[in-house]
Amino acid sequence: MAEAARGALPLRGLAPPLLRRLSELLDRAAPGKGWRDLAQRAGSRGRVRLSPLDLEQCSLKVLEPEGSPSWSLLKLLGDRGCTVVELVQFLQALEHTEALQCLSHSGSITGLPGNKLHICVQPQAQSLAVGDALVLECGAVGNPIPQYQWFRNGFPLANGSENVYMVTYVDVEHQGTYWCHVFNDQEDEDSNKIEVVIGRKAMAVECSEEDLSDLQKPAELQEQADHRPVATDKVALLIGNMSYWNHPQLKAPMVDVYELTNLLRQLDFKVVSLLDLTEPEMRNAVDEFLLLLDKGVYGLLYYAGHGYENYGNSFMVPIDAPNPYRSANCLCVQNILKRMQEKETGLNVFLLDMCRKRNEYDDTILILDALKVTANIVFGYATCQGAEAFEIQQSGLANGIFMKFLKDRLLEDKKITVLLDEVAEDMGKCHLTKGKQALEIRSSLSEKRALTDPIQQTGSSAETQARNLQWAKAHELPESMYLEFKCGVQIQLGFAAEFSNVMIIYTRIVKQPPEIVVCRAYVTDFALDLDVDPKEANRGTPEETGSYLVSKDLPKHCLYTRLSSLQKLREHLIFAVCLHYEYPGTEYTMDERKEVNVGKPLIAKLGLHHGFKTNNCLQTCCLTNNRFPNHMGSSPVATEYFIPSHCPPNSCPGIYLPNHVCSDSIRQPEACSCNGILASRHEVGNYQPPVEESNVPVETTDDTVELEFLLSDKLRFSKQQYL
């Protein structure tokens, strides 16, 4: 009894130093073992269920100088009555050994039943219909960590060696008495025996005469149909992953995300678009995206990169995914949808430009809470289930197959499902991918909702103001500035954004005393967090830095430096501006230097690096710049926000105009006369990074006419830029 009493110790009874230590361990935990994973485990229990607002409040702690999301979560769980034994169970499920040791070694919890085998969560009886999903859960704590074996009617179940037993589609044969045998090297215990009853699905619904009369009002229904839906706001998250560490490189996501960004901005979407994210960065980006959603908001998520589909769940693959990868290394789209539904959004659109083949290395069956029955979900898959999505692999810039056809219709004022149907028909006429890739649409949309629907805000509510502030934080550029040097030289620094995580610094000399004959200024000494190749900094054209898509919208006659991976920036962006100059008749070069602090620009303000290991930033820089050279000479980036083309050449303000479209088109090299290569966006095998040539499985075609058709005629660059 004394042990049970100690095991029932409320979490809020733990000493603050112990809670602080646990918070530190959770804050810097590896993927799958952090505070968000703990929240997901705890939130699945009815007694300590956490709302999306609770998690938002925890997430926003990263914006505070000494804030800790884990500390906030542990206090919240304690206030909701969570016990120490439950916390131990959650940590064991996450296999967070370090946190478990911290608890077991603490003198304040001596005698904790975590060392003794104890079943904390008992399976529950269920009554199901044929075709439903059966999910049974048994949770135990103990040292060594308990193992599980499920039984039905006295016989062990072949796939019942986990703490959760699941049957995705039940029939009458699954009916019976279930229990779980829990054991370790020292002890064993059986759970409660429960009954699972399988009946037949109801084929009809009950309704009253009044309900029936409501179904017989065609005039009223027609009036409702004629009423155009509105959005309270429109928000989009666009992710394009290309520079994979352990898997084949992709090219098209750069152009795909760029063009979709410009189109969605014309439809008044607040767009957050990001290139090349690791797993924690993707998870944190999704969390920030969810903060922008609210009742009636249209939410759109677009992803281009490697992916797969298992058991009906779609997974997006981060650039740091191991080889082979599994669900624990990726983001589940259906889980994101569930969290979007909790926001009561008006429309949820998912555009997934990735493969949907099965991942043979991943047998995990994710257990997700049932989705709400809503009439506002639209999935546009670039390819059918079990098939691959393709992009054109060649020198130059081109869209992926899906985006090539989608962009031509996206601005049409049509119901989103109708628009996607027409895109599917267009794709079906492309013989390069016929029999290989076909658009698949899944929808529960019952209203005539379109991406062109107007925004009608409900007023200046606190939620609206917070959403606008959150979005604005991710798109703040440093202001243009002038630096005065002792020798009389004046330098202008300007800033332009390509993506939410990519910024260009451009410098030029605006004042030079006549007695100085040679003068040159350059920027240097950037933090190791950032992906900056010194060989590609301070170049005479944006193309030389890797900025192929935004060049004509930047001021001319400057030196350009591209800063990518701004999401990795932990502190303020501080760099140096160095000035070299000479006087006539001397052989010596004079030097002056000024340090510049521009704060945290763009996405850096949101702290998407949270949860990184201490050496991740440096590793990322090395891998991006050295392990995988780009055939164009640098890592490609894409454009989202930039300096308007109508700005006077001498003003060069570093500003962002949310509703201004600076360019109607992109330019690319002339269509290559070589054969087009269709490269798959599916790769989970034992891929080895290429030294000179890619090891991507490809299919070739000699039909260069069709290839030229696929390449947008709006994309034009001169061939000399790639020599």
pLDDT of residue 299: 95
Q: Are residues 450 and 429 located together in one domain of the fold?
A: yes
- Quote the tokens at residue 81: 């009555």
Q: Is a pLDDT exceeding 90 seen at residue 466?
A: no
The number of CA neighbours under 13 Å toward the Cβ of 123 is 30
Evaluate the omega torsion of the peptide bond into residue 513 and state whether it is cis, within 30 degrees of 0.
no
Amino acid at 399: N
DSSP 3-state assignment of 234? strand
Is residue 693 one of the residues assigned to a domain?
A: no
What 8-state DSSP symbol labels residue 684? -
d(CA 233, CA 257): 21
Asked which of 115, 144, 177 is the last residue of a domain, the reply is 115
Per-residue pLDDT at 208: 61
Instruction: Judge whether residue 6 has pLDDT over 60.
Output: no
Q: What does the pLDDT look like over 405-451, one tens digit per residue?
A: 999 999 999 999 999 999 999 988 888 777 788 899 999 998 999 99
131: domain CATH number is 2.60.40.10
**Helix (H, G, I), strand (E, B), or coil: what is residue 351?**
strand
- Per the domain annotation, does 664 fall within a domain? no
Q: How high is the mean pLDDT of the chain?
A: 76
pLDDT at 631 over 50: no
Confidence of residue 86 (pLDDT cuts 50, 70, 90): confident
345-358 tens-digit pLDDT: 999 999 999 999 98
Give the pLDDT confidence score for residue 493 in this predicted structure: 94
3-state secondary structure of 597: strand
Dist CA 100 CA 700 (whole Å): 54
Instruction: Tell me what pLDDT residue 680 has.
Output: 63
Q: Is residue 709 part of a domain?
A: no
Q: Is residue 667 part of a domain?
A: no
Q: Looking at the structure, tell me whether residues 402 and 486 fall in a common domain.
A: no
User: How sure is the predictor about 63, in pLDDT bands with cuts at 50, 70 and 90?
Assistant: low
Span of 51-60, 288-297, 440-449 with lowest mean pLDDT = 51-60
Are residues 257 and 356 both part of a single domain?
A: yes
Catalytic residues: 306, 355
Tens digits of per-residue pLDDT, 671-713? 332 334 566 665 544 445 444 333 222 222 233 333 333 333 3
Indicate whether 33 pLDDT > 70: yes
CATH number of the domain that residue 345 is part of: 3.40.50.1460
382 is written with which tokens? 């670039």
Given 47, 81, 115, the domain boundary residue is: 115
Based on the domain organization, do 569 and 455 belong to the same domain?
Answer: no
Per the CB < 8 A criterion, the answer to whether 590 and 581 are in contact is yes
Q: Name the pairing type of β-strands 347-353 and 377-381.
A: parallel
Q: What is the pLDDT of residue 463?
A: 67
Say if residue 169 is in the same domain as residue 47.
no
Q: Which of 610, 487, 491, 510 is nearest to 58 (CA)?
A: 610
Instruction: Say what the pLDDT of residue 414 is.
Output: 94
Domains identified in the chain, total number: 4
SS3 of 136, please?
strand
List, for residues 560-595, the tens digit of each pLDDT value: 999 888 888 888 999 999 999 998 888 788 899 999
Percent of the chain beyond pLDDT 90?
30
Q: Find tokens 């705890």 and name the residue.
A: 42
Where in the sequence is the domain holding 516, given as residue range(s)? 481-657
- Residue predicted with more confidence, 521 or 138: 521
Non-local CB neighbours of 484 within 8 Å, separated by 6+ positions: 490
Greater pLDDT, 239 or 3: 239
CB atoms within 10 A of CB 392: 22
Whether residue 221 is contained in a domain is answered as no
pLDDT-above-70 percentage for the chain = 74
Q: How confident is the model at residue 101 (pLDDT cuts 50, 70, 90)?
A: confident
Distance, in Å, from the CA atom of 30 to the CA atom of 280, rounded to the nearest integer, reads 9
> Quick one: pLDDT at residue 518?
87
Q: For residue 18, what is the domain's CATH number?
A: 1.10.533.10
Residue 493 and residue 467 share a domain: no
Is position 712 within any domain? no
Q: What is the pLDDT of residues 131-169, one digit of tens each?
A: 888 989 887 777 788 889 999 998 899 889 888 898 888
In a domain, 498, yes or no: yes
Question: In terms of domains, do 411 and 486 share one?
Answer: no
Contact 215, 183 (CB under 8 A): no
Tokens of 469: 């502030």
DSSP 422-482: HHHHHHHT-TTTTTT---EEEE---S---TTPPB----S-HHHHHHHHHHHHTTPPPPPEE
CA distance 233 to 658: 14
Quick check: 40 pLDDT over 70? Answer: yes
Q: How confident is the model at residue 366 (pLDDT cuts 50, 70, 90)?
A: confident
| 508 vs 716, higher pLDDT | 508
List pLDDT tens digits, range 487-512.
999 999 999 888 888 899 999 999 99
How many CB atoms sit inside 10 A of residue 89's CB?
A: 25
Q: 684 versus 301: which is more confidently predicted?
A: 301
CA distance 223 to 221: 5
* Residue 215 backbone dihedrals phi, psi, to 5 degrees: -80, -5
Domain boundary pick from 473, 495, 513: 473
Question: Could you report the per-residue pLDDT of 311-348, keeping only the tens digit for each?
Answer: 889 999 999 999 999 999 999 999 999 899 888 899 99
What pLDDT does residue 25 have?
Answer: 87
Does 100 share its domain with 124?
Answer: no
pLDDT of residue 362: 87
Q: Rounded to whole angstroms, how far apart are CA atoms 341 and 478?
A: 36
Residue 720 in this model has a pLDDT that exceeds 50: no
The CB density around residue 350, as the number of other CB atoms within 10 Å, is: 21
Assess whether pLDDT exceeds 50 at residue 122: yes
Q: Is the CB of residue 129 less than 8 Å from the CB of residue 36?
A: no
pLDDT > 90? residue 396: no
Q: Judge if 434 and 345 occupy the same domain.
A: yes
How high is the pLDDT of residue 104?
A: 66
Nearest-angstrom CA–CA distance, 551 and 642: 10
Same domain, 489 and 592: yes
By the 8 A CB rule, do 644 and 556 touch? no
Verify that 520 and 626 share a domain, yes or no: yes
Q: How far is CA 76 from CA 5, 46, 55, 64, 245, in A?
A: 22, 15, 10, 18, 38
Strands (E), 241-387: 270-275, 297-304, 307-310, 313-316, 331-332, 347-353, 377-381
Q: How far apart are CA 106 and CA 92, in angstroms?
A: 17
Residue 32 lies in a domain: yes
Residues 264 and 181 occupy one common structural domain: no
Nearest alpha-carbon partner for 593 in 573, 577, 571, 614 = 577
